[in-house]
């Protein structure tokens, strides 16, 4: 019983010292004015203050030179991993393996280049992001307005033939002609793509938005164009550099 009475006294003392009783507009703050929210905020401020020196150094260092400083590289890789999980994982996946319409960042298939500087520019300005005047932009025409349905089937068969076997091999040769006249200007004569234009390599069996002959034909007829935000304006230059270093470290960076 005495233990029970002691806990009652302790509870009364607790409600006096710490925030407890609710009111009509706010709660009783307690004599200690303790707040877990303010405590967390203070800890976060302390962490930011302790990191400020190295973050400022990253901001002042060209992204291509970060790897030359071991301490900067380690910090940037760890910071980039955290920023990736908070901002990029919803589209690219927690392991950066991507998905249909979202690039796999672990391989060496790059639309705009895989050097850390290229990745930094892509992250900084985004893809087809209208609010950024320096965004990377590439637009594939809707060839349904240019080609006949039979020609679209032919060029789809030709593209499939670069890495596999189309449904009708007889369509390959006429498809090659259609490709040379309409697609080679962006994708190249050998269909290996053009990074200056963001035109994908069609000869490596790595597909971003389609898979199979019918989907390739649909993409040729009515292409889908993805959008990635310009992260520079959202996260700041130092964080974007850390993201670029992290993505480059995944294994596919050049």
pLDDT at 2: 96
Min mean pLDDT across 29-38, 184-193, 213-222, 235-244 is at: 29-38
Taken in order of first residue, the domains within the chain and their CATH numbers are: 2-34 (no CATH), 54-136+234-249 (1.10.760.10), 143-221 (1.10.760.10)
Assigned token pair, 30: 């307690």
- Rounded distance between C-alpha atoms, residue 2 and residue 6, angstroms: 6
**Average pLDDT in the chain:** 93
Residue 252 pLDDT more than 80?
no
Phi/psi at 196 (5° precision)? -65, -25
Residue 150 pLDDT more than 80?
yes
pTM above 0.85, yes or no: no
pLDDT at 6: 96
pLDDT at 254: 81
Min mean pLDDT across 22-31, 104-113, 127-136, 202-211 is at: 22-31
Q: What is the pLDDT of residues 2-27, one digit of tens each?
A: 999 999 999 999 999 988 888 888 88
C-alpha closest to that of 240 among 111, 137, 98, 132? 132
What b/e readout covers 169-203, taking b as 16+ CB neighbours within 10 angstroms?
eebbebbbebbeebbeebbbeebebbeebbbbbbe
pLDDT at 39: 84
pLDDT at 56: 93
Distance of alpha carbon 169 from its chain centroid, rounded?
Answer: 38
Segment 214-229 mean pLDDT: 95
Q: What is the pLDDT of residues 159-172, one digit of tens each?
A: 999 999 999 999 99
Identify whether the C-beta of residue 94 lies closer than 8 Å to the C-beta of residue 105: no
pLDDT at 156: 97
Distance of alpha carbon 4 from its chain centroid, rounded?
Answer: 57
Residue 49 pLDDT more than 90?
no
- Report the DSSP beta bridge partners of residue 102: 99
């Amino acid at each position: 019983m005495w233990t029970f009475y002691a806990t009652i006294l302790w509870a009364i003392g607790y409600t006096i010292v710490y925030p407890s009783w609710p009111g009509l507009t706010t709660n009783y703050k307690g004599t200690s004015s303790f707040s877990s929210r303010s405590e967390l905020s203070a800890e976060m401020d302390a962490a930011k203050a302790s990191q400020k020196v190295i973050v400022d150094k990253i901001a002042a260092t060209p992204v291509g030179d970060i790897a030359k400083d071991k301490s900067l590289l380690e910090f940037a890789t760890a910071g980039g991993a955290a920023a990736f999980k908070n901002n990029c994982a919803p589209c690219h996946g927690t392991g950066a393996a991507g998905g249909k319409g979202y690039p796999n960042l672990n391989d060496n298939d790059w639309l705009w280049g895989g050097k850390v500087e290229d990745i930094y520019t892509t992250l900084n300005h985004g893809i087809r992001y209208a609010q950024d005047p320096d965004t990377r932009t590439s637009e594939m025409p809707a060839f349904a307005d240019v080609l006949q349905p039979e020609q679209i089937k032919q060029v789809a068969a030709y593209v499939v033939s670069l890495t596999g076997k189309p449904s009708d091999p007889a369509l390959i040769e006429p498809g090659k002609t259609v490709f040379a006249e309409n697609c080679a200007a962006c994708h190249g004569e050998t269909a290996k793509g053009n990074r200056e234009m963001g035109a994908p390599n069609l000869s490596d069996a790595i597909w971003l938005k389609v898979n199979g002959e019918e989907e390739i034909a649909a993409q040729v007829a009515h292409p889908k164009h993805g959008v990635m935000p310009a992260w520079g304006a959202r996260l700041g230059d130092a964080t974007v550099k850390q993201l670029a270093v992290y993505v480059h470290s995944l294994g596919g960076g050049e």
